[in-house]
Amino acid sequence: MSELYALYQRRASVRKFKPEPLREGDLEKILFAAQRAPTDATAQMYSLLRVSDPLLRRQISSHSGRNPHIETCAEFFLILADVHRLQRLLEHRGEALGRWPRTALHFAIVDAVLAGSALATMAESLGYGIVWIGGVLNGIREISRLCGLPRGVVPVAGLCVGVPDEAPPPRPRLPRSMVLHENRYRAYEPEELEQAYAQMAPIARGGDWHELLKRYFAQGGTMEAREPAYRVFTAQQGFEPDLPAELLERLQERGLEAGSLGELIAQAHARGFRSLQFHSQGHVWIEKEPAAYRGQGAPGEALGQALLEALEQEG
């Protein structure tokens, strides 16, 4: 217990690695730890994709915003939220996977992060350095295609493991009072927010944590830029309840991409369909004079069918 506490006292992400493999037997230990992580309802809705091909590592690095440590670490993994295997297991015994896409993505991400964290902690306890790569979302579709990910599988992050060639000091964290609530969520006072900025200042190169948060999380920032591709990709992977993945794939083949019903409606208007009629009987009419097209089913499915018919007719 004291050793684990000491590990967390000194731990920090490592981005410089020596060109050395893991010691014999240690890969098995970190994978064992990953598989011992908690999971919801025994389902283990995650997978680890070990990337050993140097060319594939370079390609993933390129699509993730140039992270050279992906290429130099001893082991690199894609941490995947994976509902595909669960679906195959159910089908193997004659059952169909239920329709719970957002809940599925929620628990699959939780399972993936728990497994990745267990792997990372075991690696650090063995003396290795690790760093998580959130940048895989920058090229999530390209990386998924390179790695042959089937429907129902979404990259959550990358994880580098290797022999460290640096010993960075631990980075600051928010005051405990800001992340720990008791019984009820507590509102933040302005003084606490300023204290947070002061405590986190050393983490930013220029000493201004606000600029770092602004670059990533404010309007026009990195996360906003990632959102459209992530929304479309997760919908195409089967995690959008209003839009069947198979229909989205067929629409994509016709040059139309959408990650939500709202985006599909916007796409219809952008393509000149001025009248969209959703009927309570379970069908949709879309019109572009002089033609009209009909789709059947739930609103998203019906609209997608009508648009697909229109696109096929228009060639």
Span 107-114, average pLDDT: 98
Q: What is the CATH number of the domain that holds 25?
A: 3.40.109.10
- Same domain for 29 and 138, yes or no, is yes
pLDDT (tens digit, 9 = 90+) per residue, 133-150? 999 999 999 999 999 999
203 found inside a domain = no
Q: How far apart are the first and last CA of the chain?
A: 67
pLDDT of residue 131: 98
210 found inside a domain = no
- Same domain for 155 and 20, yes or no, is yes
For 150, phi then psi, to 5°, come to: -80, 170
pTM assigned to the model? 0.95
Q: Which helix (H) or strand (E) holds 301?
A: helix 299-314
pLDDT reading at 87 higher than 70: yes
Q: How many CB atoms lie within 10 A of CB 58?
A: 13
- Same domain for 6 and 155, yes or no, is yes
Angle at 154 between CA 243 and CA 34, to 5 degrees: 145
pLDDT of residue 1: 60
pLDDT of residue 281: 82
186 found inside a domain = no
Residue closest to 13 by CA, chosen among 238, 167, 234: 167
Last residue in a domain, options 162, 196, 219: 162
pLDDT of residue 45: 98
Whole-angstrom distance, CA of residue 251 vs CA of residue 244: 11
36 found inside a domain = yes
pLDDT reading at 58 higher than 90: yes
- Same domain for 263 and 145, yes or no, is no
Percentage of residues in the chain with pLDDT exceeding 90?
Answer: 95
170 found inside a domain = no
pLDDT (tens digit, 9 = 90+) per residue, 16-27? 999 999 999 999
pLDDT reading at 274 higher than 90: no
66 found inside a domain = yes
54 found inside a domain = yes
- Same domain for 8 and 134, yes or no, is yes
Span 254-270, average pLDDT: 95
pLDDT reading at 289 higher than 90: no
Print the domain residue range for 268. Answer: 242-314
- Same domain for 151 and 293, yes or no, is no
Contact 292, 299 (CB under 8 A): no
pLDDT reading at 66 higher than 90: no
- Same domain for 17 and 150, yes or no, is yes
pLDDT (tens digit, 9 = 90+) per residue, 40-50? 999 999 999 99
- Same domain for 55 and 145, yes or no, is yes
Q: What is the CATH number of the domain that holds 280?
A: 3.30.920
Percentage of residues in the chain with pLDDT exceeding 70?
Answer: 100
Number of domains in the chain: 2
pLDDT (tens digit, 9 = 90+) per residue, 155-167? 999 999 999 999 9
pLDDT of residue 285: 95
pLDDT reading at 315 higher than 80: no
Span 244-264, average pLDDT: 95
- Same domain for 46 and 153, yes or no, is yes
pLDDT of residue 282: 87
Span 172-184, average pLDDT: 98
pLDDT reading at 212 higher than 70: yes
pLDDT reading at 197 higher than 80: yes
Contact 57, 124 (CB under 8 A): no
Q: Identify the weakest region by mean pLDDT among 64-68, 172-176, 188-192.
A: 64-68
- Same domain for 154 and 34, yes or no, is yes
Span 262-279, average pLDDT: 93
pLDDT reading at 176 higher than 70: yes
DSSP character string of 102-150:
HHHHHHHHHHHHHHHHHHHHHHHHTT-EEEEEGGGGGGHHHHHHHTTPP
Residue closest to 131 by CA, chosen among 166, 98, 104: 166
- Same domain for 37 and 143, yes or no, is yes
Q: What rounded mean pLDDT belongs to the chain?
A: 96
Last residue in a domain, options 146, 162, 178: 162
38 found inside a domain = yes
